[in-house]
């Protein structure tokens, strides 16, 4: 890593006012987004896009289920705001291990079946970027870290007919994950930017629908949700509501294999607020902080039984495109699920 000092603009000048606005904006957190300015503080929402895919509209039969998702995210962006300055050409490589425990209850409640899921992510990440940070220190930087993400609690309420299945969910994101604002050390020069918690509560009501024809094996699943986030009190930044939708079309074979395309979209419905968001928008001269992205790719799964226990494997690859004010990434995912 190379660094070189730069002079701060004279105090009170227009350049100094812009410099201080950048400094305020840069304290907005550790994982930042793409475009002329980032939205959804940290560059991504609480909800991991693409989480609801095949059979998402079906609440499982009574029993307990354990699944593990292994996810790799590789993303780039033109610019991000971090640690008090604009840095160019950041690249992000993140491994997420999500452990999910679901219990589906016996009986019906209000005509539907109930289940509850607890999710705990463990994240290992690396970010590389270059630019000027903190009062004129310039160079190329890399940060690596590992930590817990925020815990997610999701109750589900499901209804079924012969071929149609509805699943109403509301996820609660509890800010239990590792979080620290970005910080710099001058001697020796280092830059800590990665955090894996959001430092805010969020809720995410979602409805998912699955059409599954047991004779032909044809499946269509769609899901639509919106994430509402509380303010991050450490940065006075409130992320605007985030709408996300997913869809898959699958063909299920009699031997347990299934395959088809999967995709998603993400769109903020308003502008981020709070003094942190206002400072960031002013620093970039951006008209809006609204973010969006699309993703699509193949999905393949295999389901079987070992005795009375269900076992399923799933692999998926997603290419993101059309990103605005957030990272655009390639996402690879493998899932192992077991019912007991």
pLDDT tens track for 72-104: 999 987 766 543 345 567 788 889 999 999 999
Look at 166-175, 184-193, 299-308 and tell me which has the smallest mean pLDDT. Answer: 184-193
Give the C-alpha separation, 197 to 99, whole Å: 16
Query: Does residue 29 carry a pLDDT above 90?
Result: no
Q: Is residue 136 a contact partner of residue 8, using CB atoms and an 8 Å limit?
A: yes
Give the C-alpha separation, 67 to 258, whole Å: 18
Q: What percent of the chain has pLDDT over 90?
A: 56
Q: How confident is the model at residue 5 (pLDDT cuts 50, 70, 90)?
A: very low
pLDDT of residue 126: 84
Q: How far is CA 37 from CA 34, 92, 277, 333, in A?
A: 7, 17, 10, 28
pTM, two decimals, is: 0.83
pLDDT of residue 132: 54
CB atoms within 10 A of CB 213: 12
Query: Does residue 26 carry a pLDDT above 50?
Result: no
3-state secondary structure of 199: coil
Identify the burial level of 172 via C-beta atoms within 10 angstroms of its C-beta, where 0-12 means exposed, 13-18 middle and 19 or more buried.
middle
Cα angle 339, 98, 225 (rounded to 5 degrees) comes to 90
Identify the burial level of 10 via C-beta atoms within 10 angstroms of its C-beta, where 0-12 means exposed, 13-18 middle and 19 or more buried.
exposed
Give the C-alpha separation, 258 to 219, whole Å: 9
Give the C-alpha separation, 147 to 97, whole Å: 11
Q: Give the dihedral sign, CA 9/10/16/22.
A: positive
pLDDT tens-digit map of 59-75: 999 999 999 999 999 99
CB atoms within 10 A of CB 289: 27
pLDDT of residue 272: 85
3-state secondary structure of 205: strand
The DSSP secondary structure of 223-272, one letter per residue, reads EEEEEEE--BTTTTBBPPPEEEEEEEEEEE-TTSEEEEEEEEEEEE-S--
CB atoms within 10 A of CB 216: 9
- Structural domains of the chain ordered from first start: 3-339 (2.40.160.40)
pLDDT tens-digit map of 236-283: 888 899 999 999 999 999 999 999 999 999 999 988 888 777 776 776
pLDDT of residue 273: 86
């Amino acid at each position: 890593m190379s660094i070189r000092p730069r002079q701060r603009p004279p105090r009170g000048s227009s350049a100094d006012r812009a410099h201080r606005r950048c400094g305020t904006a840069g304290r907005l957190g550790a994982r930042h987004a793409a475009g002329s300015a980032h939205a959804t503080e940290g560059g991504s929402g609480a909800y991991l896009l693409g989480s609801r895919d095949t059979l998402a509209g079906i609440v499982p039969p009574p029993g307990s289920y354990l699944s593990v998702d292994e996810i790799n995210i590789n993303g780039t962006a033109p610019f991000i705001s971090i640690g008090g300055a604009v840095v160019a050409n950041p690249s992000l490589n993140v491994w997420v291990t999500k452990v999910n425990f679901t219990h589906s209850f016996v009986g019906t409640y209000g005509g539907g079946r109930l289940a509850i899921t607890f999710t705990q992510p463990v994240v290992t990440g690396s970010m590389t970027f270059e630019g000027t940070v903190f009062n004129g220190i310039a160079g190329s930087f890399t940060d690596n870290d590992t930590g817990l993400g925020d815990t997610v609690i999701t109750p589900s309420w499901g209804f079924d007919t012969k071929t149609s299945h509805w699943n109403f969910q509301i996820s609660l994101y509890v800010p239990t994950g590792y979080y620290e604002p970005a910080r710099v050390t001058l001697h020796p020069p280092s830059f800590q930017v990665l955090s894996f918690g959001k430092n805010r509560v969020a809720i995410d009501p979602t409805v998912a629908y699955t059409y599954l024809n047991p004779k032909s094996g044809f499946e269509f699943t769609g899901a639509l949700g919106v994430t509402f986030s509380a303010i991050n009190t450490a940065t006075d930044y409130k992320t605007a509501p985030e709408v996300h939708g997913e869809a898959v079309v699958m063909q299920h074979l009699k031997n347990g294999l299934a395959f088809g395309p999967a995709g998603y979209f993400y769109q903020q419905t308003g502008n981020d607020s709070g003094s942190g968001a206002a400072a960031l928008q002013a620093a970039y001269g951006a008209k809006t902080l609204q973010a969006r992205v699309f993703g699509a790719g193949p999905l393949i799964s295999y389901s079987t039984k070992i005795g009375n226990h269900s076992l399923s494997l799933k692999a998926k690859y997603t290419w993101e495109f059309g990103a605005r004010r957030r990272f655009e990434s390639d996402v690879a995912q493998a899932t192992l699920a077991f019912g007991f």
